[in-house]
């Protein structure tokens, strides 16, 4: 049957709209099925997870910001040790030196970390199960979400497990220095994991916000065996495509270090409420109890599955594609992804061949249809990006300081959704008379399936979210074309069934992607929704256009009205976003500024990662963005906004030469660096000669140049009252320039400083530096 051939009966006139409404209902239902669980109170059964009980731990450690080396950090550690001991676990605080990855142009980071390790020995271990979260926070954040939710989930799970002896060794690991570069996890993996019963399987819990369903977005490879356990545990939201999306983000978790060290496991996080992430409003009262309940009960269920499992078997098996459906996890071998994608492309080409033989379409018009589909997707993603960029240009202060997300994102997301519908359906309605519906519909399916094949080749695992639904849509198209004339009324049903997997699988992923924040999540969500709409065009094509002479004359007017309606609705929703995020309508807006003083030159400056967003920040920062790596290397090589600042009377760190020995054309220099302000953070940079190697805390470091001035840089966290000793092996025996700096976190030490009224300061920093020649 031709798409354009039959005159619409009443059933066919109403069939397509009803089918589309049903598909939308399926998408809503599948999305709601992934919503967090209702929180349980303190009267929940002893063996159940209770968000109310878990929140007690989060509140206990999240009253003050707890960056590594701070008093609140030490208090949180003491509290957690006491609570773990009260549960009857053997607890040890492991003092280690964590080392960050070396990256060109960046200062090497290390920290003197104190990991909390609690253990319950198994009766007949086949490996070691580790429940992991980090207990430090970024400077200035209360850390209720990041990573209080992980701490609370594990503490309440440990209580619910009781004192029953598991088969496998069970370790609770609260890492330190995660915010400083995953340093506690690096130290544990390097120094301690090898002594455990192998294999070591880690369930890592994280947060990039304060709300939303916990998403298991990474697993070790091969992931087939462990995803079988996550599926059996229930309550887990996972999708293989999200690992690729995560790779586009700048954020990282301890799981990277665990995985690099050969440990197995899963990585889960909440990502909703990103505007509160790493900020002073990441507080217990702003953390979703439902998200905590879902993360905790799924962690407890997975722990019960794994603590008595044969962990050695997790090292064998095959990689698996995972997607979440209302009844659990849909799993199939990764090896089937490319065949599915190729089969989908084959079905789409078959539909094109059938249409060509029936003279419903031509090859040139179908090729144009492919281009129109791809352009529509690009317009949707680009429009989403442009919409948020325009909103920021109007009111830059609505964006959070950390991820650039507004507190109230839904009006903008609704505008993006309408814009995406317009970008895909609009060109179809406009061009279907000119090119023919068959060419546009078939071209759209070919385009989507080609994308599926390309993804399957380039990014294995990421293609499944497109390739699997596209196969169904393309096959349904072929079946609908082959239906006899007497079954014409079944066309809509067949095409709708073909689009069903797209609505059931892709839409929830688009919703999850939207929680990543408008700068990234908006365009990614638009891209996913556009792909769903392309797969739905065969159903849309069943809604017949007017064929009367009056209808033909009115068509340009209807097109203009439709386009104008999309523009008006998008503008209205965007305006609603501006109103909803206006100053005073939300939680306090965030400001970000740091201070640095050069005690040698007697000069000081303000600096921020972002341009001024208010009158207050505009008074401090002149908006002239520049790279400060040569004068203030602690801020790295990214351009920053700066401004002249008053010179405070603050003492710079002291530098003492412990040993200075020359051997041939090399010089070994041992320095003692002490902060006269009792700062927990120190920095050391060397220029003038090449540093061949460095050693701190017994750990060898690989030197990297920072900017054009410094051949080596070291950023040290968790420094105690005893300061730090660093040994340098330097090429040549001539003098070297040594820049030292320390950092504290309270701008209140600057007499002339006045904070912004009604706003919160994000990650304050006071750097005091001096330079010496040795």
- CA atoms of 48 and 297, how far apart (whole Å): 8
Torsion of CA 123, 128, 131, 137, to 10 degrees: 130
Contacts of 209 (CB under 8 A, 6+ apart): 145, 146, 270, 271, 272, 273, 274, 275, 276, 277, 515
- CA atoms of 533 and 597, how far apart (whole Å): 56
β-strand 666-674 against 625-626: which pairing, if any? unpaired
Q: Say if residue 21 is in the same domain as residue 97.
A: no
Q: Say if residue 634 is in the same domain as residue 669.
A: no
Q: 3-state class of 580 per DSSP?
A: helix
- CA atoms of 270 and 208, how far apart (whole Å): 6
Q: Which two tokens stand for residue 710?
A: 């410094």
Contacts of 361 (CB under 8 A, 6+ apart): 352, 355, 369, 436, 438, 439, 442
Q: Which two tokens stand for residue 601?
A: 């030159």
pLDDT for res 327:
84
Residue 324 lies in a domain: no
Q: Say if residue 640 is in the same domain as residue 747.
A: no
Rg (CA), the chain: 29
Global pTM reads 0.93
Q: What CATH number is attached to the domain comprising 269? A: 3.40.630.10
Contacts of 316 (CB under 8 A, 6+ apart): 222, 225
Contacts of 139 (CB under 8 A, 6+ apart): 65, 67, 70, 745, 763, 764, 765
pLDDT for res 332:
87
Q: Say if residue 389 is in the same domain as residue 248.
A: no
pLDDT for res 6:
40
503 DSSP 8-state letter:
I
> Domain end: 644, 671, 690, which one?
644
Task: Quote the Cα angle for 670-675-679, to 5°.
Answer: 130
pLDDT for res 474:
96
Domain coverage including residue 361: 10-33+335-580
pLDDT for res 546:
54
pLDDT for res 292:
97
β-strand 264-270 against 328-333: which pairing, if any? unpaired
Q: Say if residue 296 is in the same domain as residue 386.
A: no
CA distances, 406 to each of 140, 209, 276, 382, 578 (Å): 19, 12, 9, 19, 9
Q: Say if residue 424 is in the same domain as residue 546.
A: yes
Residue 38 lies in a domain: no
Residue from 477, 528, 480 nearest 505 by CA = 528
Q: Say if residue 537 is in the same domain as residue 398.
A: yes
SS (H, E, C) 226-252: HHHHHHHHCCCEECHHHHHHHHCCCCC
Residue from 14, 57, 54 nearest 37 by CA = 54
Cis peptide before 532 (omega within 30 of 0): no
Q: How many CB atoms lie within 10 A of CB 585?
A: 12
Q: Is 502 exposed, middle or buried (0-12, 13-18, 19+ CB in 10 A)?
A: buried
Q: Is 82 exposed, middle or buried (0-12, 13-18, 19+ CB in 10 A)?
A: exposed
Q: What kind and span of H or E run contains 545?
A: none
Q: Over the stretch 524-546, which tens digit does the pLDDT of each residue have?
A: 999 999 999 999 999 999 887 65
- CA atoms of 140 and 70, how far apart (whole Å): 11
Task: Quote the Cα angle for 550-539-551, to 5°.
Answer: 0
Q: Say if residue 758 is in the same domain as residue 695.
A: yes
Q: Over the stretch 381-406, which tens digit does the pLDDT of each residue have?
A: 999 999 999 999 999 999 999 889 99
Residue 43 lies in a domain: no
User: With contact defined as beta carbons under 8 Å apart, do 739 and 769 qualify?
Assistant: yes
Residue from 26, 21, 160, 6 nearest 500 by CA = 26
φ, ψ at 485 (rounded to 5°): -60, -35
Looking up tokens 């059996």 gives 232
Mean pLDDT split into 10-residue runs, the chain, 774 residues: 46 80 95 92 96 98 94 97 96 95 82 97 97 96 96 98 94 96 96 96 97 92 90 84 72 92 96 93 97 96 96 92 86 91 96 93 95 96 96 94 93 97 93 92 96 90 89 95 82 94 94 90 95 96 65 65 88 97 94 94 93 92 86 90 93 94 91 94 92 88 85 92 93 91 92 89 91 92
Q: For the chain, first and last CA: distance in Å?
A: 87
Residue from 81, 151, 113 nearest 295 by CA = 151
Q: How many CB atoms lie within 10 A of CB 371?
A: 12
Q: Say if residue 99 is in the same domain as residue 135.
A: yes
Q: Which two tokens stand for residue 733?
A: 């025996």
Q: What CATH number is attached to the domain comprising 667? A: 2.60.40
Q: Say if residue 69 is in the same domain as residue 183.
A: yes
Q: Over the stretch 693-712, which tens digit does the pLDDT of each residue have?
A: 899 988 888 888 888 889 99
Contacts of 545 (CB under 8 A, 6+ apart): 429, 432, 433, 551, 555
Residue from 87, 243, 224, 249 nearest 160 by CA = 87
Which sign, positive or negative, has the C-alpha torsion 189, 191, 197, 199?
A: positive
Residue 437 lies in a domain: yes
Residue 46 lies in a domain: no
- CA atoms of 9 and 717, how far apart (whole Å): 74
Q: Say if residue 609 is in the same domain as residue 564.
A: no
φ, ψ at 255 (rounded to 5°): -60, -30
Strand partners, 130: 171, 202
* Largest interatomic CA distance in the chain: 97
Q: Which two tokens stand for residue 234?
A: 């229930």
Q: 3-state class of 324 per DSSP?
A: strand
Q: Say if residue 702 is in the same domain as residue 760.
A: yes
Q: How many CB atoms lie within 10 A of CB 127?
A: 24
> Domain end: 535, 555, 580, which one?
580
Q: What kind and span of H or E run contains 208?
A: none
Half-sphere exposure of residue 119: CA atoms within 13 angstroms, side-chain side: 15
Residue from 359, 231, 351 nearest 298 by CA = 231
Residue from 436, 426, 437 nearest 559 by CA = 426
φ, ψ at 322 (rounded to 5°): -125, 140
Task: Quote the Cα angle for 346-347-351, to 5°.
Answer: 115
Strand partners, 98: 111
Residue 3 lies in a domain: no
CA 354 from chain centre, in angstroms, equals 44
Q: What kind and span of H or E run contains 66?
A: none
- CA atoms of 1 and 47, how far apart (whole Å): 60
- CA atoms of 471 and 241, how far apart (whole Å): 17
Total domain count, the chain: 4
Residue 62 lies in a domain: yes
- CA atoms of 764 and 594, how far apart (whole Å): 6
Residue 42 lies in a domain: no
């Amino acid at each position: 049957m031709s798409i354009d051939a039959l005159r619409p009966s009443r059933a066919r006139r109403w069939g397509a709209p009803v089918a589309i409404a049903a598909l939308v209902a399926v998408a809503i239902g599948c999305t709601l099925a992934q919503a967090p669980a209702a929180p349980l109170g303190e009267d929940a059964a002893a063996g159940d997870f209770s968000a109310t009980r878990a929140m007690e731990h989060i509140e206990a450690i999240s009253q003050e910001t707890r960056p590594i080396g701070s008093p609140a950090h030490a208090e949180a550690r003491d509290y957690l040790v006491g609570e773990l001991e009260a549960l009857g676990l053997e607890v040890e605080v492991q003092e280690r030196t964590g080392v960050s990855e070396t990256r060109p142009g960046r200062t090497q980071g290390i920290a003197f970390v104190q990991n909390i390790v609690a253990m319950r020995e198994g009766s007949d271990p086949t490996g070691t199960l580790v429940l992991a979260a980090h207990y430090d926070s970024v400077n200035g954040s209360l850390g209720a979400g990041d990573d209080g939710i992980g701490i609370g989930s594990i503490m309440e799970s440990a209580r619910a497990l009781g004192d029953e002896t598991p088969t496998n060794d069970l370790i609770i690991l609260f890492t330190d220095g995660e915010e400083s570069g995953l340093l506690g996890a690096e130290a544990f993996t390097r120094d301690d994991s090898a002594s455990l019963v192998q294999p070591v399987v880690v369930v890592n819990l994280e947060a990039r916000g304060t709300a939303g369903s916990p998403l298991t977005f990474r697993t070790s490879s091969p992931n087939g065996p462990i995803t079988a356990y996550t599926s059996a545990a229930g309550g887990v939201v996972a999708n293989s495509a999200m690992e690729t999306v995560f790779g586009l983000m700048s954020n990282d978790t301890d799981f990277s270090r665990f995985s690099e060290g050969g440990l197995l496991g899963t990585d889960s996080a909440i990502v909703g409420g990103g505007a509160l992430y790493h900020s002073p409003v990441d507080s217990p009262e702003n953390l979703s109890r439902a998200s905590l309940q879902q993360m905790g009960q799924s962690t407890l269920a997975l722990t019960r599955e794994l603590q008595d499992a044969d962990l050695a078997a997790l090292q064998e098996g095959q990689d698996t594609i995972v997607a979440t459906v209302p009844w659990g996890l849909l799993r199939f071998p990764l090896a089937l992804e490319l065949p599915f994608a190729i089969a989908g492309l084959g079905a789409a080409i078959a539909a094109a061949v059938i249409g060509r033989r029936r003279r419903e379409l031509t090859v040139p018009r179908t090729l144009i249809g492919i281009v129109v589909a791809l352009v529509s997707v690009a317009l949707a993603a680009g429009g989403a990006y442009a919409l948020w960029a325009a909103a920021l240009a109007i009111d830059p202060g609505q964006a959070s300081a950390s991820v650039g997300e507004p507190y109230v994102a839904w009006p903008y997301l609704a505008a993006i959704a309408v814009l995406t519908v317009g970008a895909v359906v609009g060109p179809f309605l406009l061009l279907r008379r000119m090119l023919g519906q068959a060419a546009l519909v078939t071209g759209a399916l070919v385009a989507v399936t080609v994308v599926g094949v390309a993804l399957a080749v380039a990014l294995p695992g990421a293609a499944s979210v497109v390739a699997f639904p596209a196969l169904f849509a393309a096959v349904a198209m072929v079946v609908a074309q082959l239906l006899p004339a007497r079954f014409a009324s079944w066309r809509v049903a067949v095409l709708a069934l073909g689009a069903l997997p797209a609505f059931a699988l892709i839409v929830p992923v688009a919703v999850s992607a939207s929680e990543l924040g408008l700068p990234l999540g908006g365009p990614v969500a638009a891209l996913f929704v556009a792909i769903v709409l392309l797969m739905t065009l065969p159903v849309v094509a069943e809604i017949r256009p007017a064929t009367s002479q009056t209808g033909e004359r009115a068509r340009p007017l209807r097109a203009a009205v439709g386009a104008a309606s999309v523009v008006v609705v998008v503008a209205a929703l965007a305006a609603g976003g501006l109103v909803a995020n206006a100053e005073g309508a939300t939680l306090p807006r965030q400001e970000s500024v740091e201070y640095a003083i050069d005690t040698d030159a007697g000069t000081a400056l303000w600096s921020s990662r972002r341009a001024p967003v208010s009158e207050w920040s505009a008074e401090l920062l002149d908006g002239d963005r520049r790279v400060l790596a040569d004068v203030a290397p602690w801020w790295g090589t990214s351009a920053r906004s700066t401004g002249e600042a008053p010179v405070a009377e603050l003492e710079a760190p002291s530098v003492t030469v412990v040993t200075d020995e020359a051997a041939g054309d090399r010089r070994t220099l041992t320095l003692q660096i002490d902060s006269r302000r009792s700062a927990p953070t120190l920095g050391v940079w060397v220029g003038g000669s090449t540093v061949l190697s460095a050693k701190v805390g017994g750990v060898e470091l690989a030197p990297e140049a920072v900017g054009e001035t410094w051949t080596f840089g070291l950023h040290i966290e968790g420094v105690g009252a005893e300061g730090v000793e660093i040994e340098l092996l330097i090429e040549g025996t001539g003098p070297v320039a040594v820049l030292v700096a320390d950092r504290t976190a309270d701008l209140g030490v600057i007499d002339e400083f006045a904070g912004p009224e009604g706003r919160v300061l994000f990650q304050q920093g006071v750097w005091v530096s001096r330079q010496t020649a040795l």
